[in-house]
Amino acid sequence: MQHNRAGRKLGRTTAHRRALFRNQLASLLKHERITTTLHKAKDLRPLAEKIVTLGRRGGLYARRLALKSVPEAEVIQRLFDEIAPRFKERVGGYTRILKLGRRPGDGAEMAIIEFVDYDFAERRAKKVATEKAAAEKKETLLEKAKKLVTGKAGSEKAAGDEAAAGEKPKAEKKAKAEKAPKAPKASKAPKASKAPKAQRPASGGKKGPTKGGTPRKVGGG
């Protein structure tokens, strides 16, 4: 017979097992319903009961003890502000376990652990509303982006149209100028021929007969 061996090791070390239950407890407080194996759900249930009792107690010291178990400020704030007030008139028994049968593959027994006042329809409606709001926000962002893109493209198109409109009259003027016949140029008057220049006698050259000079003698002597 084995004594002083309460709880399950779940094939994990102590640190690993504590981290596992810390994460599962945070998920349970955040979503109010999680699916896990049956043995994990049975070991998680007492931890959830104790932390809800701390939430019902309230006060700074209780918050610090809760933060020691789940070091997430947003989750602990939700526990003290939303979850714990719902169980103000209830003494214990805040959670329940629903069996789901065996998991295909390894055959592990599955279960759902949730708070007893969990309303599936309400949570589903909230989830659908949240998804719808997110989709609408995404659509509005896409529309804004499209408007920005189309506005930019429209301004570029308008600028291109203005440039084309400015180039059109220039092209028309050029075509008209090419079509118009050119006037014939007036023939230039022939240039007057210049008078020949008088030849000047060469100075210091051959001596020739000069006017008024003495005639040469004929014959010798």
Report CA 25 to chain centroid distance, whole Å: 35
- Exposed (0-12), middle (13-18) or buried (19+): which is 84, by Cβ within 10 Å? buried
**Which pLDDT band holds residue 221 (cuts at 50, 70, 90)?**
very low
**Which pLDDT band holds residue 146 (cuts at 50, 70, 90)?**
confident
Question: Mind listing the pLDDT tens digit for each residue in 90-142?
Answer: 988 999 999 999 999 999 999 999 999 888 677 677 778 888 888 888 888 88
- Exposed (0-12), middle (13-18) or buried (19+): which is 67, by Cβ within 10 Å? middle
Q: What was the pLDDT predicted at 154?
A: 59
| pLDDT at residue 208 greater than cutoff 60 | no
**Which pLDDT band holds residue 77 (cuts at 50, 70, 90)?**
very high
Q: What was the pLDDT predicted at 147?
A: 81
- At residue 121, what are phi and psi to the nearest 5 degrees? -65, -40
Q: How far apart, in whole angstroms, are the C-alpha atoms of residue 25 and residue 34? A: 9
Q: How many CB atoms lie within 10 A of CB 157?
A: 11
Question: Looking at the domain covering 14-118, what would its CATH class be?
Answer: alpha beta
**Which pLDDT band holds residue 145 (cuts at 50, 70, 90)?**
confident
**Which pLDDT band holds residue 82 (cuts at 50, 70, 90)?**
very high
Three-point CA angle 126, 128, 129, nearest 5°: 65
Mean pLDDT of 36-43: 95
Q: How far apart, in whole angstroms, are the C-alpha atoms of residue 110 and residue 10? A: 14
Mean pLDDT of 46-58: 94
Residue type (1 letter), 129: A
Torsion from C-alpha of 209, 215, 220, 221, nearest 10 degrees: -120
| Out of 26-35, 93-102, 138-147, 149-158, least confident range | 149-158
Q: Report the chain's mean pLDDT, rounded to a whole number.
A: 81
Domain boundaries in the chain? 14-118, 119-174
Mean pLDDT of 199-217: 56
| pLDDT at residue 213 greater than cutoff 50 | yes
Three-point CA angle 19, 24, 29, nearest 5°: 130
Q: What was the pLDDT predicted at 176?
A: 65
Mean pLDDT of 21-39: 95
Q: What was the pLDDT predicted at 48?
A: 95
Question: Mind listing the pLDDT tens digit for each residue in 167-190?
Answer: 666 666 666 666 655 555 655 655
